[in-house]
Amino acid sequence: MTSFNRQTLPDTVRTNGATPNPWWTNAVVYQIYPRSFQDTNGDGFGDIKGITSRLDYLADLGVDVLWLSPVYKSPQDDNGYDISDYQDIDPLFGTLADMDELIAEAHQRGLKIVMDLVVNHTSDEHAWFQASKNPNDPHADWYWWRPARPGTTPGTPGAEPNQWGSYFGGSAWEYCPERGEYFFHQFSKKQPDLNWENPAVRRAVYDMMNWWLDRGVDGFRMDVITLISKRTDKNGKLPGEVGSEIPDGPVGEEGYSSPNPFCADGPRQDEFLAEMRREVFDGRSGFMTVGEAPGITPARNEHITDPANGELDMLFLFEHVDFDCDGTKWKPRPLDLPRLKQIMAGYQTAVAGVGWASLFDGNHDQPRVVSRWGDDTTDEARVRSAKALALMLHMHRGTPYVYQGEELGMTNAHFTRLDQYRDLESLNAYRQRVEEAHVQSAESMLAGIAARGRDNSRTPMQWDDSTYAGFTTPDAAVEPWIAVNDNHVTINAAAATADPHSVYAFYQQLIALRHNNPIVAAGSWKLIDADDEHIYAFVRALDGERLLTVVNLSGGTVTLPHDTAELVADGVTEPDVVIATHSASHAVVSLANNELDPWEGIVIRL
């Protein structure tokens, strides 16, 4: 099912507070990581033509929107999130003509295209940055330039303007000999932060966004958009700079302080987003905006996504994928289900009145959820846990996002050597933590990367059981840019689409349920049995109808907790079962026994 025959929620059903209801309130978004999706020219990298060739697969899955990670021209230091030309396609992925064809072919199938918008930073090879190296150029103030600390030798350790560290390891300041100053980069040193305080920067960004919308794209996913407003004192000095009225934060175990408290959700965040809405989206229809929102609380999510404030349609919040670790993502901990439920409840409650939620477990920056919170040790456990996790997420209120391969139950890469990884973050973190700061052992760090590294989600899409999983031809002269997961022989789209009991088939059911049932899209949400360590249960309600979702997120048979058991105490029949990870008949037996099998999930009409 595509958006051309998807039901529109009636205005009698309240969604985000807008009237009429936005089209995306019962839509499902599918994220594509282009370099790993489909290679059509045998160079080992996915391309735009590859995406076009798989549109029928995506339409059959039932999704409504395709979000593409960056395909703009880029040196590929951070896999395209370092953009050197916003208005051209990198030859790695194809041409502008290929992009136009993709947009047209997607629209013919009722699929919308959302581009990744990366405007907190550019590549250091962007023409804007190259011009900015000249202090007399009109672009001189388009980035965050600062002199060395007084009394130090520029370019030497300790001369940096403050002690901020990059999220990718090392200092967040890089010395530029041509200008004789340092530039600020929250991520790679090849990703200098744009200075959004400069109106000319904002004007250039808005012009570029309008150019893409005029070309036919349907909106933007905005990369780290809540980092664009930096906190400075009344003299324009950043925290920790000599003479700044704002003190820096503490130095951490790697030898740096964090810029995040001073860059996330800064003082002009609302102003910038509202200006963007006016300058780019006012007068347009049919679009969707979603912001990646590090540092944003649920309460702020309500404000930013309240349509009355004219900012963004929805945000990605990250507390639920950041909490299961011991201080750093490289020291993962087992899932604390009561804590996860508490976080998700906070998300849902915050937008119960106005605003909207994004629902996701995985993306290009997260490990595979079935390996993270499920069980991929056997194929049976993998299928069951993948379905259980999907049911849990998709039955929440909001707009779900499916990351490529998630609908197949694709797993982590299970790499064992550092040389198998390609991700800049993982490689830099290993160097920083193991070789330089000596705060983690090599063995522990490799285990951390294997569990949480971003390459886990970036291995090639598994289309079939051939040598390279159908990502490229079996006889291709060049191997894929990153190794194909060995388990593609059994986990692949060809097998899944032919199996009515596959993870893929279950995703089709979940997506159709959201399209056709207003309770799933917009009904109220209430958590029950919050403290249970195995069962995740909640009730959705709308216009007198109620749905109970109950999921066993463990590998053992468990007894129903008290409040859940009370709701089904009068008995459940097969017609009461809306969807189940096993079958309706199995669900009835389980509930009659007051228990759920390992990874069993059920939605019941009360």
Q: Give pLDDT tens digits for 545-564.
A: 999 999 999 999 999 999 99
Rounded Cα distance between 284 and 274, Å, is: 15
Instruction: Give residue 446's pLDDT.
Output: 93
> Residues with catalytic annotation?
223, 292
pLDDT tens column, 423-469 = 989 999 999 899 999 999 999 999 999 999 999 999 999 999 999 99
Closest to 330 measured CA to CA, from 448, 161, 481, 428: 448
Q: Which residue has the higher pLDDT, 302 or 2?
A: 302
**Is residue 392 classed as helix, strand or coil in its secondary structure?**
helix
**Given pLDDT bands bounded at 50, 70 and 90, which one contains residue 1?**
very low
Query: Is the distance from CB of 44 to CB of 478 less than 8 angstroms?
Result: yes
Percent of all residues in the chain with a pLDDT value above 90, rounded to a whole number: 96
Query: Is the distance from CB of 487 to CB of 368 less than 8 angstroms?
Result: no
Instruction: Give residue 8's pLDDT.
Output: 81
Rounded Cα distance between 25 and 555, Å, is: 33
Query: Is the distance from CB of 176 to CB of 133 less than 8 angstroms?
Result: yes
**Is residue 24 classed as helix, strand or coil in its secondary structure?**
helix
* pLDDT at residue 12 tops 90: no
Burial (CB count within 10 angstroms: exposed 0-12, middle 13-18, buried 19+), residue 474: exposed
Instruction: Give residue 2's pLDDT.
Output: 44
Query: Is the distance from CB of 354 to CB of 306 less than 8 angstroms?
Result: yes
Instruction: Give residue 314's pLDDT.
Output: 98
Instruction: Give residue 173's pLDDT.
Output: 98
Kindly give the pairing relationship between strand 545-552 and strand 601-605.
antiparallel
**Given pLDDT bands bounded at 50, 70 and 90, which one contains residue 206?**
very high
* pLDDT at residue 125 tops 80: yes
Tell me what the mean pLDDT of segment 70-81 comes to.
Answer: 96
* pLDDT at residue 588 tops 80: yes
Query: Is the distance from CB of 407 to CB of 507 less than 8 angstroms?
Result: yes
Rounded Cα distance between 243 and 590, Å, is: 67
| Residue range(s) occupied by CATH 2.60.40.1180 in the chain | 523-605
| Residue range(s) occupied by CATH 3.20.20.80 in the chain | 29-120+199-229+265-417+461-504
Yes or no: is domain 29-120+199-229+265-417+461-504 CATH 3.20.20.80?
Answer: yes
Choose the CATH number for 523-605 among 3.10.150.10, 2.60.40.1180, 2.40.30.10, 1.10.10.10: 2.60.40.1180
What pTM was computed for the model? 0.96
* pLDDT at residue 4 tops 60: no
Tell me what the mean pLDDT of segment 397-411 comes to.
Answer: 98
Place of tokens 């960004």: 205
Average pLDDT along the chain = 96
* pLDDT at residue 3 tops 70: no
Rounded Cα distance between 222 and 208, Å, is: 13
Burial (CB count within 10 angstroms: exposed 0-12, middle 13-18, buried 19+), residue 255: middle
Tell me what the mean pLDDT of segment 590-604 comes to.
Answer: 97
**Is residue 300 classed as helix, strand or coil in its secondary structure?**
helix
Tell me the two tokens of residue 113.
């295209």
